[in-house]
Structure 1
């Protein structure tokens, strides 16, 4: 019996050593709640740039729920595009879209790609590709039905962000224990994705995709008609750790996407030479 206990303890230690976590400061006990923070940025006199500075400051301070910190593994085994061999890739993703606050009171925070890229850089992460978004949805254990709000000019305002957040909280209520244990959750937001469509236009763009329905079909096809200062209530930020493993060998997302042989593991566009958004002025 004693040896069995030792084996279990060793396995638990190995699991904790191999666990992949979001690289952020611990959340302070007196940190502002998600709902209180949402109200604090609802001031219509705040500019977009000012709002996103406040968001970034909260993230830098570690005001992020515990459930968001334990990354979830996605493994994809597929035929090689240039032969018959099987190739596997593993990577780690946020269990849900980015939030501010605690497990008990959190706020899904839409961001421009400018801020999303800053947060990705801060946490040594990347934004996902279309293929990755599809794989994440496929592997999700909590799948929520999309809840669109009729489009108006107000869809980019914080009051609409709050209204949609309230809807999502009601949807999550039956899954709260699993959700707070970091179960992979999807269907609640569209993704800001990396794509060749970020570049090549006269103005910088945001590229969005996803919001899968329960039948697995995405509401939003790959779309790049908004400029990079657009952020509406439906946009989510799902980060992916930069480290990935191809056939068990550690590499990173940028190297895989630049590799003509293996880019298909993460991309349906072929090579993506610039897998990031430019951090520009608002």
Structure 2
């Protein structure tokens, strides 16, 4: 009996350690392309809650490029209190987008929608530390392309403008990007942080947009209210199940652990590693 249990455990670990995919329905050929969908939500009179419901519905029905569906494995080792520990987790190869491989639209969202999407596909958002590691490991490192700040930066028209800039930038990496190569530098991350809570109003916490020297343009920042989503924001998903020292656990459990949280957090333990989802 012990042999059978041990064998089943090995099979489980091997299955978890193999290629991981985003748990979404297959994309149908007649679904909207990225540019078509972007135009469909570009009316500035559309309420934010309506726009985000449309984005959620597209993701839920599987209108996501195939290059985003195979997650990239990250392995890391760190010394904690004098002992060496290993961690493995799986990340989205690029920021969440809607559409096809040839025509996709990066969708900036509020943290409420980002959390809903993460919950849908059994994922979480990254921490600052994970965001740094993703940039370090990225095969495609893009230079940030900022647009001068104006009151229009939260409109879909500016989202589209920035998306077009990124498409031109990615054209030099088209084959590698289409293969699902880990890509970074193109957006700031919505992140898990202890700074999510503690303010009088609900906040979004952002970080990243790394330059070629590896330094982030955006430090950890929580001064925007949670309904803020501008063109520079991206949603990077991290699978909930991770492996620590060969044992399967979850991102949230590790983040809450006093000893093991340094594997994936440079803020110490994060006890509530998610955003509220009902606060528009």
Partner of 1:244: 242
Residue 51 of structure 1 corresponds to 51
Structure 2 counterpart of 1:206, from 204, 207, 211: 204
Paired residue for 1:63? 63
Check if 1:189 corresponds to 2:187. Answer: yes
TM-score (norm 1): 0.93
**Is the partner of 1:176 in helix, strand or coil?**
helix
How far has the Cα of 1:247 moved from its partner?
A: 1.2
Aligned to 1:220: 218
How does the TM-score come out when normalised to structure 2? 0.94
Equivalent pairs, count: 267
- Structure 1 residue 125, shift from structure 2 partner: 0.1
Deviation digits for residues 191-244 of structure 1, max 9, x if unmatched?
Answer: 000001000000000000000001100000000000100000000000000010
Q: Partner residue of 1:274?
A: 272
Shift of 1:15: 9.0
Q: Any stretches of 5+ residues in structure 1 without a counterpart?
A: 1-13
Separation of aligned partners in 1, 2:119 and 2:51: 19
Aligned to 1:72: 72
Deviation at 1:281, TM superposition (A): 3.0
Report SS of the residue matched to 1:88.
Answer: strand
What is residue 136 of structure 1 aligned with on the other side? 134
Q: Secondary structure at the match of 2:152?
A: helix
Relative to 1, partners in 2 of residues 1:16 and 1:174: Cα closer, same or farther, differing over 3 Å? farther
Cα deviation 1:87-125 (Å, max 9, x = unaligned) = 110000000000000000000000000000000000000
| 2:240 counterpart SS class | strand
Structure 1 residues 137 and 180: alpha-carbon distance in aligned structure 2, compared to 1, 3 A threshold: same
Query: What's the CA shift string for 1:126-160, capped at 9, x where partnerless?
Result: 00000000000000000000000000000000000
The correspondence for 2:97, drawn from 83, 96, 99, is 99
Stretches of structure 2 that go unaligned for 5 or more consecutive residues are 1-13
Match of 2:6 in 1: none
TM superposition shift of 1:86: 1.3
2:19 alignment partner in structure 1: 19
